[in-house]
Structures are given as C-alpha cells and as structure tokens.
Amino acid sequence: MKKGFTLIETIVVIAVIGITLPILFAIILTLMRQQLKINRLSEIKREGDYISSALENTIRDRVFSIHSGLPVNDSTKICEGALSFSNPSTSLYFLDKNRNWFGYQFSGNTLASESADLVNTSISLNSSKIFVSNFSISCSRNTVYSAQSIQFSFDVCYDTGLPDCASTRPEEITSLHYQSRIKLRNY
Amino acid sequence: MKKSFSLVEVLVFITVLGLFFTAAMSVTTFNLQSMKIQEHKILATRFAEEGIEWVKDEKETDWSIFILHDTSGTGTTYCLNSLDDDWGTLGNCGESYTLGSPAFFSRNLLIKNGGSPVDQVDATITVSWKEGADIKNVQIKSVFKLLE
C-alpha cells in the first residue's frame, strides 16, 4: 500500500500557499501602515492642540506687556501705541501682572517656554518625536485704549528621520497647520 | 486499500474555508475603510478648527467690518477653501474640493448676524469630503459676541 503525498499533491499545496501567503501579508501590511498613519496623525493633532491651547490660555490671561527680547524692560516694550504692530518673529517675551517675565522661543524643531522661575532652562512644548516648524509670533494694537492682540502660527509634523519631516513616500508625511489670534484680557 | 477523501467531504471543507475567508476579508475591508474615514475625520476636524480660528481672527480685528459679511439676516454662506483676508468666495463650495493635500476637502462658512444693532454672530464651519459615494461632514459651531 502506498502511503504519503504524491509529487503533484505537494506541488499543488505549495502553489496554493505561495499564492495565499503574499496576499495575506500584503493585507496585514496595508492595515499596519494605515494604523501607523492614524497614530501619527492623532499624535501630532494632540500635541498641536496642546501647544495652541497652552499658548492661547497663558497669553490671554497672563500677559500684561509685550517685549521683543530679553531683558524684559521698558526699552524692549513693543505694541504700546496706537496702530502699532511687530514683524512676525520666532520669539516673544511678556510680563505678567506680578512683573514676572515669561516667553516663547522657537529654535530648531522645538518650541520652548521660558520664564523667570526656570533659571537658565526652558521647557519644550513638543516631544522629541514631533517637530514644530514655521513658527511665527507677532503683536498688534489698533488704538491706545484697545487690547493688544497676539497672533501666532505654526506647523506640526511627525519626525520621519529626515530633515523637515520629509519622506520618500508622500503618504508618510503628516503635517498640520495651526494659527490663532488672541486678544489680551489683562493689559 | 487506499484511503482518501470523498467528494462531499472536500466540498464541505472548501465551502467552510471559503466562508471563513470571505468573512475575514469583509471584516478587513470594513476595518480599512473605517480607518480611512477616521484619518480624514482628524484632518477635517483640524480644518474646521482652523476655519473657526480664522473667523475669530476676523472678529478680533474689526467688529464693524466683520458684521458686514452677513446683511441678509438669514445667514450667508462663504466658501473658505483658502483662508485669505478677502473671505474666499461668496456661496457654497459645491463640488470644489480643493482644501488639503491631497486636495479633497471643502470648507463652508455659514455666518448669521443677530440682534439690532448686531451684537452676536453665529458661525458654522462645515468641512465636507467624499468617501466613496457618500459625502461626510464635520461641523463646528461658534458664537461670537461684541463684548467678550
């Protein structure tokens, strides 16, 4: 009695497996890629929302006067008179009601928060996996009696290992744009 | 005697396997589709928020100019696919899905003045995109007041 598979049977089985497995892997790969993209997108959205709302809330409630740089004193004060505005820059400093200074500075791929309480250090608002780019912040004022407004804009993107979040695969690039204008409450 | 499967056994096996694979495939396809929708929804939400921010910006800049954009009293629609200072184009975006990259979103702003003199403006941003044959929407509403 003959036992075992014939050559034909074996070849057929291998052929079927050979067709099914690549399809299966392709499907799994597509799913994983899509999942990764959503992860990255929700991550940059989360951090972008955080930066945007942190900036908005702090600036709206705490800013008393606006300064172009350090040291924060009367000579660096900007946006004081009527119809005054500043050119968009990468950093701006403020004084709060208690005369404590704080500010935001953008360099490299990070947006950092600085303040008098943090001696010689700054706190990065974005994590190392997420880049902030094209950050600009400026102020303007219409009349001496109206509140100053601060406008800022930036892009967030996910680090792909290449500069400026570039990638050889366009579908891998995830980037979001943020912009806002805030009117001061305690000026 | 050589033992082998009967035709019925083979047929039953293939049917069961076929059913299983069909089920697995439809689950996967559904999954992939909803993931795509989710991705687009995240982007659309951002575009809608950006739109509301832009309207807020316009409001903060000059209230008296801001309220001139709805004179009908019943609401005016603008197509805000690009955020310029000139308020995009008057009227619904319709089929022009030019927002985003790749471009397949459209952003409409419905603005409605309230009070006389106007002290409140209702703004609704609707971001739409095509998902296969359906049109999906993300909507954000906001109220702007003169004194705030």
Please answer whether residues A177 and A155 qualify as being in contact, where contact means their C-beta atoms are separated by less than 8 angstroms: yes
In this complex, the residue of B28, B46, B53 whose CB is nearest that of residue A45 is: B46
Which residue has tokens 């409409």? B108
d(CA B68, CA B74): 13
pLDDT for position A99? 86
B148 close to B127: Cβ distance less than 8 angstroms: no
Strongest mean pLDDT among A86-95, A108-117, B133-142: B133-142
* Confidence band for A29, pLDDT divided at 50, 70 and 90: very high
User: Each residue's pLDDT tens digit in chain B (148 positions)?
Assistant: 567 788 899 899 999 999 999 999 999 999 999 999 999 999 999 999 999 988 988 888 888 888 888 888 788 999 988 887 678 778 888 888 888 878 889 999 999 998 888 889 999 999 999 988 899 999 999 999 988 7
Partner-chain contact B57 A181, CB within 8 Å: yes
Q: Model's pTM, two decimal places?
A: 0.82
Mean local confidence (pLDDT), A151-174: 84
Rounded CA gap, B121 and B112, in Å?
6
Tokens 């002290």 sit on residue? B119
Q: Phi first, then psi: give them for residue A69, nearest 5 degrees.
A: -170, -170
Half-sphere exposure of A37 (CA within 13 A, CB side): 21
Give per-residue pLDDT as tens, A46-78.
Answer: 999 999 999 999 998 899 989 988 788 888 888
What is the structure's pLDDT at B1? 57
DSSP-assigned letters across all residues of chain A: ---S--HHHHHHHHHHHHHHHHHHHHHHHHHHHHHHHHHHHHHHHHHHHHHHHHHHHHHHHH-SEEESSSS-SGGGEES-STTEE---BSEEEEE-TTS-EEEEEEETTEEEEEETTSTT--EESS-TTEEEEEEEEEEEESSSSSPPEEEEEEEEEE--SSGGG--SSGGG--EEEEEEEEE-S--
| Overall average pLDDT of the A10-39 stretch | 92
ipTM tops 0.90: no
CB contact under 8 A, A31 and B36: no
- Bond prior to B117 in cis (omega within 30° of 0): yes
**How is chain B split into domains, by residue range?**
8-145
User: Which among A27, A35, A180 has the least Cβ separation from residue B53?
Assistant: A180
Is the pLDDT higher at A88 or at B1?
Answer: A88
Using a CB-CB distance cutoff of 8 angstroms, which residues of chain B are in contact with residue A182? 60
Cis bond before residue B102 (omega within 30° of 0): yes
Quote the distance between the C-alpha of residue B18 and its chain's center.
37
pLDDT at A141: 87
* Dihedral of the alpha carbons of A68, A73, A78, A82, in degrees to the nearest 10: 180
CA A81, B65, B125: angle at the middle one, nearest 5? Answer: 115
pLDDT at A106: 92
Is A178 in CB contact (< 8 Å) with chain B? yes
Task: Pick the range with the lowest mean pLDDT from A116-120, A158-162, B68-72.
Answer: A116-120
Cis preceding linkage at A170, omega within 30: no
